[in-house]
Structure formats: C-alpha cells, structure tokens
Amino acid sequence: MANERQRGAVLALVMILLALLGVLGLLAMQASTQQTRMASNLLSSLQAFEAAENLLLKGEALLPTAIPSGWQQDGAGRYLIQNLGQTNQAVGMPANLAVTLFRVTAIAEERQARVILESVVAWPETAGEYAARRILWRQLPRES
C-alpha cells in the first residue's frame, strides 16, 4: 500500500508543476505580445513623425509665392500654410530686417499614431544677403 500512495503523490506533484509551467508560459507569451505591440506603436509614431516633417519641408518649399489656400492633402497627411504678416523683429534675423512670417502646419497619421508639427519661417522682403530661415519649430501634443 505504501507504493500506491507514493505513486499518487508523484502524480499530484507532477500535475502541479505542469500547471505552474503552463502559467509561466502564458505570462511569457503575454509579455512578448505586449512588447511587440509597443514596438509596433513606436514604429508607427516614428513613421508619422517623418511624414509630418516631410510635409513641413514640402510646404516650406512653396514659400513665398505659391501658397495654396486651405489644407492640402498629401499622402498620409495634410499641411496648411498661413501668412502671419510682416515684422522687422524676427527672432534670429538681423534687427530692422523686414520679413514676412509664414506658419506651416503639418498633420500626419500612421495607423494609431498622429503627429502635428508646426514651423514658422521668416522670409526677407528684399532679396539680398539674408536667406529665408525657419525660426520656430514645435510638435503639438496629441489631442485626447
């Protein structure tokens, strides 16, 4: 009879160990799946950021003459160019240099990621020794 009890105890111990290994396997699969999702979301965010930066550059390339009206759809995003007016006190430009300020806003979407970038470009009124330059750049927070 002692042998019969021992065989039953070993079976119970093996079943408990097998259940624990199964739970550990499930936890490892969940962690792996979550990390894969996080990596995918990061990739989407980076791709959306790159697309938005390209849209900014595309909009800035149209300055100052060919400014389209309204939002312009382009690929996975859109951009808007706005004339902010003239000033002679633009940041990073020589004092009393008359410039026209333009704001370019770009929105790019890639899967769940959405990136909004803005830049302000100072464009000198007179062609000369000073070139147009981006004087401000920012990424707007995602709307909730």
- Kindly report, residue by residue over 91-127, the tens digit of the pLDDT: 988 888 999 999 999 999 998 899 999 999 999 988 7
Of the candidates 53, 54, 55, 80, which has an alpha carbon nearest to the alpha carbon of residue 69? Answer: 80
pLDDT band at 24 (very low <50, low <70, confident <90, very high): very high
Nearest in space to 117 (alpha carbons), one of 52, 64, 41: 52
Q: How much is the pLDDT for 143?
A: 65
pLDDT, tens only, 50-61: 999 999 999 999
Reported as a pLDDT band with limits 50, 70 and 90, residue 9 is confident
Nearest by Cα to 96 from 126, 139, 121, 68: 126
pLDDT at 70: 92
Region 40-63: mean pLDDT is 94
